[in-house]
């Protein structure tokens, strides 16, 4: 098998080193066989990539035949600063698919800390002699090696940056005080900034953590910021294509471009509900597609508020067209309620906040249970400002959300009928995962 792969890679069939003559009982002409006596160039035939077959006739009677085809030509990676899209879980990339612009990620692991340091030295040496594309080198380290408990991830734009950050790690491990000889502190489980602007991260995994299901959590409004997604759009073709698809669907309802609104330098525009919610939804869908292109699939999904729509699309409970329509009408109608309410995150338990809310019955409510001791509350503007001022005077953690709406409260009652009418023709389905 290895020989067959090398034949395809080198585009050459090597001569049989020890062949002298063919067994007289084998009719090569009848069987259409030929023993290669000197190297033969293996190129395309009638525009088709070459194919190699490997036979295995097992001693125990098991017979197998594997067919391999040469990989399509993708052009020189140097066209985009030597960055290429990873192999996307062994899926072939179309030759015309644009290259992604992203740094390289080199994952290493070992059974103990000393072995990890030895591994880092070995890879640093290998990077100094590298002849293959750096993207292939990093890919093989992540996809072709077993991952052990002690782990190191090095990030860099090129081989020199990766080597520099490996040196930071090696130096930090050679000093018992935890201080690197080049002035870099290393703490297990934390990122370390290097002088070249890249980083390395270390951690210790446990069998329990590795066996836990992967859960994707989708955020609601309040997480948006001016310029959100710009770097992703510039660097990742999958993100660009996804946002373009969503933008076309959204424009058919809204009559304006969501992408233009997201790219607007006006800091206030992204915080308007009619822009923020669709933008958050679009970015989360694009990120799911990007992660899936790398072979990352969730076992569970959970969403809050508008994040529930992205979660529903992820598990195929909503088509993309229905999800975009839902988000558009939801944000359009909720945007009408703006200016009359506010929301804030408070560091209190439900038991602690309930007596305080009793004084504002019908005006303020708990809108989200973020954790056992962290809640989101929302309601009418003046009562909210009074309650927050009281909490701040008690040194309770409070953070205002960047919106002037009170979602998930009585202020949404006025849009319920029109919202349900807009959803009449949605066709939700049973999710494929939960």
Same domain membership, residue 327 and residue 385 = no
Instruction: Taking residues 166-181, report their average pLDDT.
Output: 65
Element (H, E) at 291: helix 273-293
Domain enclosing residue 255, as ranges:
215-336
Same domain membership, residue 326 and residue 232 = yes
Closest CA to 284 of 320, 252, 336: 320
Same domain membership, residue 329 and residue 223 = yes
Maximum Cα–Cα distance across the chain: 103
Same domain membership, residue 322 and residue 227 = yes
Among 170, 190, 209, give the residue marking a domain's end.
209
Among 69, 95, 119, give the residue marking a domain's end.
69
DSSP state of 111: S
> Could you tell me if residue 372 is inside a domain?
yes
Q: What is the mean pLDDT of the chain?
A: 82
Same domain membership, residue 352 and residue 239 = no
Task: Give the domain CATH number at 284.
Answer: 3.40.366.10
Predicted confidence band at 180 (pLDDT cuts at 50, 70, 90)? very low
pLDDT of residue 71 exceeding 90, the answer is no
Predicted confidence band at 404 (pLDDT cuts at 50, 70, 90)? confident
Task: Give the list of residues 6+ apart from residue 424 with CB closer than 8 angstroms, or none.
Answer: none
Tell me the pTM. Answer: 0.64
The answer to whether residues 7 and 52 touch, using CB atoms and an 8 Å cutoff, is yes
The residue among 76 and 433 whose pLDDT is bigger is 433
Residues 227-232: contacts with CB within 8 Å, 24+ apart? 227/265, 228/262, 228/270, 228/279, 228/283, 229/262, 229/279, 229/282, 229/283, 229/286, 230/262, 230/263, 232/283, 232/286, 232/287, 232/290
Same domain membership, residue 145 and residue 175 = yes
> Could you tell me if residue 75 is inside a domain?
no
Same domain membership, residue 31 and residue 13 = yes
Rounded Cα distance, 202 and 108, in Å: 9
The residue among 80 and 335 whose pLDDT is bigger is 335
> Could you tell me if residue 167 is inside a domain?
yes
181 vs 14, 117, 196, 203, 325, CA distance in Å?
50, 15, 16, 21, 57
For tokens 């069987």, name the residue: 31
Same domain membership, residue 138 and residue 57 = no
> Could you tell me if residue 152 is inside a domain?
yes
Same domain membership, residue 274 and residue 244 = yes
**What sign results for the dihedral spanned by CA atoms 249, 253, 256, 261?**
negative
> Could you tell me if residue 413 is inside a domain?
no
Poorest-confidence range of 22-31, 95-104, 348-357? Answer: 95-104
> Could you tell me if residue 99 is inside a domain?
no
DSSP-derived secondary structure for 191-211: EEE-TTS-EEEEEE--HHHHH
Same domain membership, residue 331 and residue 346 = no
Question: pLDDT of 214-238, one tens digit each?
Answer: 899 999 887 888 888 888 888 888 9
Same domain membership, residue 323 and residue 349 = no
DSSP-derived secondary structure for 232-281: HHHH-HHHHHHHHHHHHHHHHHHSS-HHHHHH---TTGGGSHHHHHHHHH
Domain count, the chain: 4
Q: Phi first, then psi: what are they for 246, rounded to 5°?
A: -65, -40
Q: Say if strands 199-204 and 364-371 run parallel, antiparallel, or are unpaired.
A: unpaired
Q: Phi first, then psi: what are they for 236, rounded to 5°?
A: -115, 110
> Could you tell me if residue 292 is inside a domain?
yes
Same domain membership, residue 309 and residue 223 = yes
DSSP state of 92: P
> Could you tell me if residue 273 is inside a domain?
yes
Q: Residue 116, SS3?
A: helix
């Amino acid at each position: 098998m290895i020989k067959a792969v090398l034949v395809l890679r080198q585009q050459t069939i090597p001569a049989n080193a020890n062949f002298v003559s063919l067994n007289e009982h084998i009719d090569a002409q009848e069987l259409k066989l030929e023993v290669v006596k000197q190297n033969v160039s293996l190129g395309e035939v009638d525009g088709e990539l070459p194919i190699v077959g490997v036979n295995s006739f097992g001693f125990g009677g098991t017979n197998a035949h594997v067919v391999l085809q040469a990989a399509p030509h993708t052009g020189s990676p140097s066209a985009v600063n030597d960055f290429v899209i990873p192999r996307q879980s062994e899926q072939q990339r179309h030759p015309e698919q644009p290259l992604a612009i992203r740094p390289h990620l080199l994952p290493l692991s070992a059974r103990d800390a000393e072995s990890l340091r030895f591994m880092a030295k070995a890879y640093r040496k290998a990077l100094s002699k590298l002849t293959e594309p750096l993207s292939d080198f990093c890919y093989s380290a992540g996809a072709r090696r077993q991952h052990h408990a002690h782990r190191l991830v090095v990030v860099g734009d090129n081989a020199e940056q990766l080597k520099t950050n490996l040196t930071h790690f090696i130096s930090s491990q050679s000093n018992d005080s935890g201080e690197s000889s080049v002035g870099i502190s290393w703490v297990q489980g934390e990122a370390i900034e290097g002088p070249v602007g890249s980083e390395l991260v270390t951690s210790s995994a446990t069998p329990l953590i590795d066996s836990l299901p992967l859960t994707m959590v989708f955020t609601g409004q309040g997480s948006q910021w001016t310029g959100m997604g710009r770097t992703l759009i510039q660097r990742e073709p999958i993100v660009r294509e996804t946002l373009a698809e969503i933008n076309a669907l959204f424009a058919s309802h809204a009559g304006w471009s969501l992408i233009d609104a997201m790219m607007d330098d006006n800091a206030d525009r992204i915080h308007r509900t009619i822009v923020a919610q669709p933008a958050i939804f679009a970015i989360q869908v694009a990120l799911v597609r990007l992660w899936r292109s790398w072979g990352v699939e969730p076992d569970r999904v959970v969403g809050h508020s508008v994040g529930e729509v992205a979660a529903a699309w992820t598990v195929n409970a909503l088509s993309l067209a229905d999800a975009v329509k839902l988000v558009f009408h939801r944000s359009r109608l909720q945007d009408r309620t703006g200016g009359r309410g506010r929301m804030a995150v408070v560091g209190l338990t439900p038991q602690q906040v309930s007596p305080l809310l009793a004084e504002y019955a019908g005006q303020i409510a708990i809108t989200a249970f973020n954790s056992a001791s962290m809640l989101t509350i929302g309601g009418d503007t003046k009562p909210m400002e009074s309650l927050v001022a009281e909490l701040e005077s008690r040194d309770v953690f409070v953070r205002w959300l960047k919106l002037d709406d009170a979602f998930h409260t009585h202020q949404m009652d006025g849009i319920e009928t029109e919202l349900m009418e807009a959803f009449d023709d949605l066709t939700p389905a049973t999710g494929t995962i939960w």
